[in-house]
Amino acid sequence: MATPIDTHHASTPGLFHRLGAWVARHRWPVLIAYLIAMVLFGVFGVQVFGAMKSEGFNYPESDSSRAAAVLAEDFGITDPAAILAIETPTDVDNDSAAATAVLDQVAAVDGVESVISYWSTGGAPAFLGNDGRTGQAIVVAEDGVDREELAAEIVTQVGGEQGDLVVYAFGGEIIGNAFNDTITGDLARAESIAIPITALILLFVFGSVVAAGLPFLVAGGTILGSFLVLFLLTRFTDVSVFALNLVTGLGLALGIDYALLIINRFREELAAGRSVPDAVAATVGSAGRTVFVSGITVAVALASLLVFPQYFLRSFGYAGIAASLLAVIGALTAIPALLAILGRNVNRLKVRRGDLAPKDDGVWARLARFVMRRPWPVLIGTVAVLLVLAAPALGAVFGQVDERALPPDNPAAQAGEVLRERFPGNEGSPYEIVLLQPGSAAEVQSYAEEISLLPEIDRVTTAESVIVDGAAVAPNPDPASWSTSDATRIEAVGNVRPIDPAGEALVAELRGLDPPSEEALVGGLAAEWADATNAVIDRIWIVALWLAITTMVILFLFTGGVLIPLKALVLNVLSLAATLGALVWVFQNGNLQWLTGDYTVTGTVDISTIALIAVIAFALSMDYEVFMLARIKEEHDAGASTTDAVAFGLQRTGRIITAAALLIAIVFASFLTSSATNIKQLGFGVTVAILLDATVVRALLVPAFMRIAGNANWWAPAPLRRLHARLGLREG
């Protein structure tokens, strides 16, 4: 094997080398300032827990949102604050007194405008359950009231058993509150599992108690600082509570990654005979530069989530950018400062025998050389395995989060199940059609009759009448509230579940009809669900293009070649396809519940969670790509052949990448303990993607590809070579 050539000390120290030297000289002020910042981050950032929201899945600029705005402004129609299903012990009529007493209690809650129920309407069939024992009630909120607080108060007042009655409370805000409570508890449980296990593994990976504690310095500052950033953002925009999961997961992940890389390099520099200050400067000059490029790459990748209009997804973008940049700051300041203070004491309290300094030869170098002796069989065989894993993705059915993502024993999930089973008419979730500048009443009536003939529609109501199967069966008792001077509304009750591919298909069918108006807006729960799903799907290409371009640019500036960035993109796509296949097989098809824990199988995978997994996995994959390429390129630039450079680079980074991947996998795998299915999906998906990337991709595909490409790995056209000479990301 070629002997690595020392290239650490350029004649003119570069920016990162100078930063490391400065931190070493001012180690105590730097460390104290960082610790003070952590305390301030914690004091002020903890307020984020009361300022975040639990919704954010809808597309604000969609037709369904526009329909909701017109319905609210022109007709005073808003989504119910709550939908109640009241189960009586014998019969809805025999037990009417008890049910009415409960509803009077609901009506007395501050912020409730009215309650419309089976009992208040004189026994309207639409409000009667098919069991004869359950009646439905719709709670309407006053304008301007805090709907989340109102929903929580209604659940507190009447939810659950009320004497001989059982009250099931459902609604958007009730579901949101249930998710909020669930996620908060799940987050604490996941951390209580992940952190102790991570700490134990860190002891072995770092080899000493002292070194194993350093990642928590970066992770702590990153997590607390990200909390503060998100809290400040809540002052200006909505931020989803789900983003807290990414803050903790990514904070720990990057803290571990960057600490491993820097401590490993610091030990190398000490083993080479450098003094502690020189070792710190050289470490920041090499590994610190890699950390910086990695952090920028992760932040840029996660910034792609800002493309989506739903604040649920944008919140993960905010969290990811904050966490990655704060992790870089901590890794380039706090860890070097502490290393300058500790010096060789970083290896104190060893838990592993032998020298902790990295070796030039070992299992990773031997594996790389084994792969590079037979690159084509390894490449073809590995790609074939990934394609087999990806195959289930061809049958993916995308959906959105609803109450079924809650644990089956959650009261909100139980309420949803009761409403589905006993009230199949979906009275609480009609399709609201708003006709802007409508034609004549006869034209509107003919259009409504056409809608009523659709097999998925049970009943249509217009300003004039109630229509069933193309014929008017009753007059509308309150026609004045259905039309204004420039708009009229039509309400259609379907017989398919709104939040379901069948509901989405019905929305598309309604929108495909020719309306007697200048414009027709289809709203309601099903339309909101369909619009949110399509908003993600329609923007996937923008995210993919953003990731492709930024990856090409950053890796080109980092390596000077054009083939390596292309290789990174192709391998990432393969890895992500395999991950999507695994997600579909497990969550859409309901396999491996012994591993993931129980959840409700809906026959879909959440499209928002898929987008998150893809972006997070891509970002962490690029993190590992930068780690590995940095060492390979360093050796190649020093004169080593491609084969020797790859073997040495994998040897020096293979253990780091694998250890970091294992630790990050533990962090995200702890999300499988969550009661929310979408958080389970996030944990499972990121875990699979990380493990695939750190093992199959880094250990097999990268060496095989680079061996086949040879010197072409570093090729670029002359104009791009000149550009890299001027703008390349290099030290010195």
Q: Are both 516 and 658 inside the same structural domain?
A: no
Q: What is the mean pLDDT of residues 430-450?
A: 93
**For residue 227, what pLDDT band results from cuts at 50, 70 and 90?**
very high
Collapsing DSSP states into helix, strand and coil, what is residue 701?
helix
- Chain segment 328-348, per-residue pLDDT in tens: 999 999 999 999 999 989 888
User: Among positive and negative, which fits the CA dihedral 226, 232, 236, 238?
Assistant: positive
Distance between CA atoms of 128 and 683, rounded to whole angstroms? 41
Is residue 28, in this structure, part of any structural domain at all? yes
**8 pLDDT more than 50:** no
Q: Could you tell me the CA-to-CA distances from 405 to 109, 185, 325, 577 in Å, in that order? A: 29, 15, 32, 24
Q: Are both 254 and 109 inside the same structural domain?
A: no
Q: CB of 312 within 8 A of CB of 242?
A: yes
Phi, psi for 597 (deg, rounded to 5): 90, 160
Where among 523, 554, 589 does a domain terminate? Answer: 523
CB atoms within 10 A of CB 10: 12
Q: Edge-to-edge, what's the strand order for the sheet holding 431-438?
A: 471-475, 465-468, 457-461, 487-494, 431-438, 517-523
Is residue 86, in this structure, part of any structural domain at all? yes
Task: Give the DSSP H or E segment for 87.
Answer: strand 82-87
Collapsing DSSP states into helix, strand and coil, what is residue 271?
helix
Q: Are both 664 and 585 inside the same structural domain?
A: yes
Q: Are both 478 and 535 inside the same structural domain?
A: no
Is residue 284, in this structure, part of any structural domain at all? yes
User: Strand locations in 142-213, DSSP E?
Assistant: 160-162, 165-170
pTM equals 0.83
Task: Give the DSSP H or E segment for 438.
Answer: strand 431-438
pLDDT, residue 255, reads 87
Task: Give the DSSP H or E segment for 82.
Answer: strand 82-87
Q: Are both 599 and 664 inside the same structural domain?
A: yes
**22 pLDDT more than 90:** yes
Q: Are both 542 and 501 inside the same structural domain?
A: no
Distance between CA atoms of 565 and 625, rounded to whole angstroms? 10
> Residue 477 is part of a domain; what is its CATH number?
3.30.70
The tokens describing 481, both together, are 């509230």
Lowest pLDDT segment from 319-333, 511-525, 533-547, 614-628 = 614-628
Distance between CA atoms of 158 and 82, rounded to whole angstroms? 11
Distance between CA atoms of 302 and 53, rounded to whole angstroms? 21
Q: What is the mean pLDDT of residues 683-709?
A: 91
Strands 457-461 and 465-468, by their bridges, are antiparallel
Is residue 583, in this structure, part of any structural domain at all? yes
**11 pLDDT more than 60:** no
**Per-position DSSP letters for 20-66, written without gaps between them:** HHHHHHTHHHHHHHHHHHHHHHHHHHGGGGGT-BS---S-TTSHHHH
One-letter amino acid identity for 290?
T
Q: What is the DSSP letter of 5?
A: P
Q: Are both 350 and 485 inside the same structural domain?
A: no
Q: CB of 292 within 8 A of CB of 328?
A: yes
Is residue 617, in this structure, part of any structural domain at all? yes
Q: Are both 460 and 385 inside the same structural domain?
A: no
> Residue 104 is part of a domain; what is its CATH number?
3.30.70.1320
Q: Are both 544 and 674 inside the same structural domain?
A: yes
- Chain segment 47-66, per-residue pLDDT in tens: 888 788 877 778 888 999 99
Is residue 698, in this structure, part of any structural domain at all? yes
Distance between CA atoms of 205 and 478, rounded to whole angstroms? 73
As for how many domains the chain has, the answer is 3
**351 pLDDT more than 80:** no
CB atoms within 10 A of CB 43: 11
Q: Are both 302 and 398 inside the same structural domain?
A: yes
**643, 645, 648, 651: CA torsion to nearest 10:** -80
pLDDT, residue 126, reads 78
Where among 523, 548, 573 does a domain terminate? Answer: 523
Lowest pLDDT segment from 353-367, 475-489, 683-697 = 353-367
Q: What is the mean pLDDT of residues 110-117?
A: 91
Distance between CA atoms of 278 and 281, rounded to whole angstroms? 5
Is residue 374, in this structure, part of any structural domain at all? yes
One-letter amino acid identity for 291?
V
**726 pLDDT more than 50:** yes
Where among 117, 136, 170 does a domain terminate? Answer: 170
The tokens describing 187, both together, are 């987050």
Domain range for 310: 15-56+177-402+531-727
Q: CB of 174 within 8 A of CB of 412?
A: yes
**352 pLDDT more than 70:** no
User: Percentage of the chain surpassing pLDDT 90?
Assistant: 45
- Chain segment 257-316, per-residue pLDDT in tens: 898 889 989 988 998 889 999 999 999 998 898 899 889 989 999 999 999 999 989 999
Distance between CA atoms of 464 and 442, rounded to whole angstroms? 10
One-letter amino acid identity for 329?
I
Q: Are both 382 and 313 inside the same structural domain?
A: yes
Distance between CA atoms of 627 and 471, rounded to whole angstroms? 70
**4 pLDDT more than 70:** no
> Residue 558 is part of a domain; what is its CATH number?
1.20.1640.10
The tokens describing 309, both together, are 């209009």
Q: Are both 131 and 31 inside the same structural domain?
A: no
Is residue 545, in this structure, part of any structural domain at all? yes
